[in-house]
Structure 1
Amino acid sequence: MNPFLWPFRLQTLVGGLACFALLGYALFAQYQLGKDPCPLCLLQRAAFLGMGIAFLVAALHGPRGWGRWIYATLVSLFGIVGALIAWRHIWLQNLPKDQVPACGPGLEYMLETFPLSRTFKMVFTGSGECAEVNWQFLGLSMPAWCLVWYVALTLLAIVAATRKSPAR
């Protein structure tokens, strides 16, 4: 069965479940595989959380017409932000070793010590820990897979919004 032909609620439910499954795997990788997340990883998790919540609320609400576009826009905004963070992360991972920035303090310490604007600047600048590739699947690092998922889930939200079928 073609997922592009599924009803709106099923498409958004699948999108939300995919987001939470990705978050579940991130927690599994952290606590069972010992892959501690860097600050950029944590921001990518927040983007998936935002997407997942927007998808699930859309599935529960089941709007028609322009209401679908509100949810698609919300999911897309989280997806674009997450994709930009993942892109930056991938860029850091592909820097030559001599250009990798020095490791910085952890995100929790930065949030407690610095103003929020400086914390965000430091996080997006990246640090040496963000450049480390300690997990791969089919030749892609975790941020690369996140980028793939951000694009796919954003497209799913747009396809769901363009469907001319009943909300149910």
Structure 2
Amino acid sequence: MSQLTTYRHLQMLLVLLTIIGMSFALFFLQRYMGFSPCPLCIFQRIGLMVMGGFALIAALWHPKSTLIKLLLWLGSLAGIVWATGVAARHVWLQHLPADQVPSCGPGLDYWIDTLPMQQVLNEVLAGSGECALVEWRFLGLSIPEQSLIFFSALLIVHVLIFWRILRPISPTLHTR
């Protein structure tokens, strides 16, 4: 069991889960089901890709330095904390009463073309009516609720990685 929870294997698990999550979003939800991602969905994907990018670097490079491992872990953690926070905001918007849902505004492309980036972030995170729309459910959960569960599981993997960084495998386990 300890062989499966090595630093490198956990990083590869994050990369694999990133590929699975992005494939589900792009190929199943977007291509097969025909859903267009709302701005909050796009921001969740960005956080997942940031996490996956740092995990890929850590898995391929496999640094020996604890400091480098911690820096890569922090980059990966920042991505998944961002995605989790945006997903939680998205779930909150979907559970608002209909009269409290923000109105739909212009699309993300328009905001990026016309507004400073700080204001784009503020507008996206404020949410809009399109983000509150529940288009599909699986096992009674909306897409953002499923994402929140998935991202929470990835946070647990990050806790395991942090534990592995601080407490490497005992050399006696490798001799067996």
With the length of structure 1 as denominator, give the TM-score of the two structures: 0.90
After TM superposition, give the deviation of residue 4 of structure 1 in Å.
8.3
Deviations 1:51-110 (A, max 9, x none): 111111110111233332222211111111111111110010001111111111111111
Hey, what's the Cα distance between the residues in 2 that align with 1:23 and 1:96? Answer: 30
For 1:106, the aligned partner's letter is G
Structure 1: which 5+ residue stretches go unaligned? none
Matching residue of 1:39: 39
Matching residue of 2:30: 30
Bigger relative CO (Cα 8 Å, ≥ 6 apart) = 1
Structure 1 residues 100 and 8: alpha-carbon distance in aligned structure 2, compared to 1, 3 A threshold? same
Identity %: 37
With the length of structure 2 as denominator, give the TM-score of the two structures: 0.86
Alpha-carbon contact 2:8-2:62 (below 8 Å) kept: yes
Matching residue of 2:169: 165
Alpha-carbon contact 1:20-1:48 (below 8 Å) kept: no
For 2:103, the aligned partner's letter is A
Structure 1 residues 92 and 142: alpha-carbon distance in aligned structure 2, compared to 1, 3 A threshold? same
Alpha-carbon contact 2:47-2:83 (below 8 Å) kept: yes
Larger Rg over CA atoms = 2
Matching residue of 1:10: 9
Deviations 1:106-157 (A, max 9, x none): 1111101222122111111110000001122222211112212222212212
The ranges of structure 1 where at least 4 consecutive aligned residues each deviate by more than 4 angstroms after the TM superposition are 2-5
Moved more, 92-101 or 157-166: 157-166
Matching residue of 2:93: 92
Hey, what's the Cα distance between the residues in 2 that align with 1:41 and 1:77? Answer: 17
Alpha-carbon contact 2:91-2:144 (below 8 Å) kept: yes
| Structure 2 residue 54 is the aligned partner of structure 1 residue 54 | yes
Hey, what's the Cα distance between the residues in 1 that align with 2:117 and 2:80? Answer: 22
Moved more, 157-166 or 59-68: 157-166
Aligned length: 166
Structure 2: which 5+ residue stretches go unaligned? 171-176
